[in-house]
Structure 1
Amino acid sequence: MRRLTRRPEEDTDAAAVAETVLRLAVLLQAGVTPARAWAHLADSGDHAARGIAAAAADGKPLSHAIATAGPGTEAVGAWRDVAAAWSVASTVGAPLAESLRGLAAALRDEHETADEVRVALAEPAGTARLMGWLPLVAVGLGAALGFDTFGVLVGHPLGMACLAAGAVLTFAAQRWSAALVRRARAESGAAGHGAELLAIALSGGVSIDRARALVAEAGASADASTDGILSLSRSAGVPAVELLRASAALARHRARVEGRLRAARLSSRLLLPLGVCTLPAFLLLGVAPMMLSVMSTMSLTL
């Protein structure tokens, strides 16, 4: 399954959304109507639930109110996932409580995966930021040792050339490192979300074609692995719902592993801008001005 890309920072509130969805599932399973369940959540202090409860009281579609919950926050993408699951389950008559429990587990896994990736990326990203200051440290180090590095960089022709080249290399190193970090953090949304939606649709007893259409309306599409699961279900004569949910769980596990692998590879890839840009900039801004300063002093002495 494939869906729209979600910004990495949107994953930070996925745990809060998962907690709300899980509470909602418990209320629904206890026999509370959806409108009353949202009202209870709003009364408990859930800010996102207040707008949804108000929409339910006005008779507006709950799926639309859920999709627009959390405006101006990082949780908008997670609420859209909830709205898609709610819409599919309501359309096919699937048990809302069971569907929302599964979605809450998926959102919780997504949040934990994002946290693990952020923690794994923290050290190499911090090292890259620290090494980015190395050329500027070189200028201060030369001045601390008694060399007129700043005067050479702005007053000597070769020094000005070193300053320009060093500034360009420093800027290139920072942009290169930032691009590597973004690439390591990038992820194409909630893994397995489409399979979860398809499982919800099929649990309502609709046909596979109808389930596919509903999932497509929710913004997801089938991939080769999902087609294989459905073929296995037909050939083996077993329900596809549990197979799809197992596939979604496996997709979330793979996303977690792949995120940690990207973070591990980042440590070695950051050596490229360090060796190609940062160290040459250090030499141009630190070592070269000191040598020019010494040569200028010797020429004046002679």
Structure 2
Amino acid sequence: MFLEQILNGLAQGSIYALIGIGFALIFGVLGLVHFAHGEVYMIGAFIGFLMITAFHLPVWAALLLAIAGAAFVGFLVELLNFRPLRKAPEYASMICTLGLSVVLQNAAMLIWGSDTKSLPLSSENVAFSFFGAKLSMEQILIFTVSLGLMVGLQYILYCSKLGKAIRAIAQNREAAALMGVNINQVIAATFAIGSGLGGAAGVLVGLYYNAFYPTMGFMAGLKAFTATVLGGLTSVPGAVLGGIILGVVENITAAYISSGFRDLVAFVILILVLFIRPSGIFGRGIQEKV
């Protein structure tokens, strides 16, 4: 039914939103697109999978460790990929992240294999009725965790010293440096935060579909990037709204037109946005990022 597809779309859109926030944060402080961000999401998913299957940790503990692990990967990406090329032409860093995405995919294949991994979950599916529609425990988990992380991020951005530094660098990096902001530390922290959110999304989507595989970050990353462009590439709230819109439209299209068009929708939306409003819904220009 229609409400059920809306709930499915909201769950999927929440995943896109968490990944998209990382794109928006990183673009906000550097003005660059991190093309390996989808692979960081995949690494986070596999860390969560490893914690649950090998160490038999509860989901909440696996989720926290996946966030920490993905944040550390993001920190390393900034330290080893973006920082050495800070003064190089912008395309140099972006091309490096394309190569990095291939490296991370193949590393995951070497470690976990190329086949799809699943969790030994109970065959009993717990679901609740929500105005006649089915609401699964996995969807409730996605809504709860996503909302909590987004609220936490807003607190960091607007109520903490780090958040003020991030927004200062996004508006004017040179002026922020003159005011005593440690540019390298703040950019590294931004990468860690965005990557941690991506890692959380990886675990959530892995639990939702009970599927973990090395290439899972490619399409998710492209769709999350589309959602970020839709909302405004420099806007965190825009990334959230863009993810929700994309998730809902995608699920309604799959349910009422054809599941074969599921992936096509994202790129049609991307093309339309670039033609009609290149700055996105909340886009305000590079001078007013984040």
TM-score over 0.5 for the pair: no
Q: Which has the higher contact order (CA 8 A, sep 6+)?
A: 2
Specify the structure having the higher radius of gyration (Cα): 1
Give the structure with the higher percent helix: 1
Indicate the TM-score class for this superposition, using the shorter chain for normalisation. Answer: 0.3 to 0.5
Q: TM-score, normalised by structure 1?
A: 0.32
